[in-house]
Amino acid sequence: MTAGPRVDTPPPLRWDGATLHVLDQTRLPGEELVIALSGADDTAAAIKRLAVRGAPLIGVAAAYGLAMEVARTPTEPALERGAAVLAGARPTARNLGWAVERIGAAALAHPDDIASATRAEAEAIERADEAASAALARHGADALDAVLPSGPVTVMTHCNSGALAASGRGTGLGVIAELADRREVHVLACEARPLLQGARLTVWELRRLGIEHALLVDAAAPGLLRGGAAQAVVTGFDRVAANGDVANKVGTYGLALAAHAAGIPFVAAGPSSSIDLRLPTGAGIEIEERDAGEVRAAAGALLTIEGTPCRNPAFDVTPAELVWALVTERGAARPVTADTVARVA
């Protein structure tokens, strides 16, 4: 496992006060293309095609998208239409709906000055997400540091939950980066088929962070965990139910099963805005099923027979009993129960 030079990661999202500039994550790692967004429709489209992704980051982007929309047309119908377009862009992550609701509430509270009230609220959401990332990274690293064996450790992660998925250093990968500030950490990164956010984005971030890593196909993860290749598994989360069931990138449940069987911690980390206390259990979480074309191809290359029918759920649900710790900016819920989840929500 080798690592590249330690260099800064370009920001996945930059707000200049009027326009939102986002790194088009579909082009990484080959190209660092920044695109400008100016309202609800183009922001929703960027979220839908995963140019902007990661539960916390799509919440921040949607907040700015709606604020930009009402800055152009500061009326209640424009607000409602923009909110519907943005909230419908992706169904699973909680943050999208949460951020849109917050912008809507700010607008309704300041009907005479919708534009500046919503802009201020979007900026507050971004600042809070950055603060949440920093705090949850500390809580997650504290929890792991207390139980991991001394010396170098290997941590497995899935998909991308770093600086490209949230403000600051991210969620799951933020916990890992914080741990790497304290001790020697190697990372095993699952590629995350079909869209390969692990292979494309997490590897790109780990090189910039100077953290040693190796990439693997998703199917290799359970066997490697059984063989003792990692001492913990850390991921982000997209939505958490009141009982602690976790929806996250498809494949997370398999990692949690294997971590549990191997007797190592599985940590899911994210901002409290991803917790949805209205849902009693994970059974109520809508799982986005994406286009079959994503499964039939990789990086533009056809992998199977054209037209082959596919199943393509983008997420899965991990039951609370497989989650060793659920970490937010408010602390680590451990064991994961309705009571501990309520304390970190």
In the complex with its own copies, the residue whose CB is nearer, 102 or 186, is 186
Q: Is the peptide bond before 111 cis (omega within 30 degrees of 0)?
A: no
CA–CA gap between residue 90 and residue 303 (Å, rounded): 26
In the complex with its own copies, the residue whose CB is nearer, 295 or 344, is 295
Least separation in angstroms between residue 258's CB and its own copies is 6
At 219, the amino acid letter reads: A
**Apex CA 182: angle with CA 176 and CA 191, to 5°?**
20
Binding site for its own copies (CB under 8 A): 1-2, 29, 188, 190-194, 196, 199-200, 203-204, 207, 213-224, 226, 229, 249-251, 253-254, 257-258, 261, 287, 295-296, 298-305, 308-313, 315-317
Tokens read off for 127: 């600042």
The active-site residue, picked from 218, 238, 245, 316, is 238
DSSP 233-294: EEE--SEEETT--EEEETTHHHHHHHHHHHT--EEEE--GGGEETT-SSGGGPPPPB--THH
Q: Taking the CA atoms of 191, 196, 201 and 203 in sequence, report the sign of the dihedral they define.
A: positive
Residue 293: count other Cβ atoms within 10 Å of its Cβ. 11
Assess contact for 286 and 92: CB atoms under 8 A.
Answer: yes
CA–CA gap between residue 43 and residue 152 (Å, rounded): 42
Assess contact for 114 and 77: CB atoms under 8 A.
Answer: no
Assess contact for 92 and 111: CB atoms under 8 A.
Answer: no
In the complex with its own copies, the residue whose CB is nearer, 139 or 208, is 208
Bridging pattern class, strands 13-15 and 331-333: unpaired
Q: Tell which residue, 126, 139, 203, 199, has the closest CA to residue 166.
A: 126
Gyration radius from the chain CA atoms: 19
Helices (H), 73-113: 76-87, 94-109
CA atoms within 13 A on the CB side of 208: 17
In the complex with its own copies, the residue whose CB is nearer, 83 or 192, is 192
For the question of residue 238 being annotated catalytic, the response is: yes
Assess contact for 270 and 318: CB atoms under 8 A.
Answer: no
Tell me which residues are annotated as active site: 238
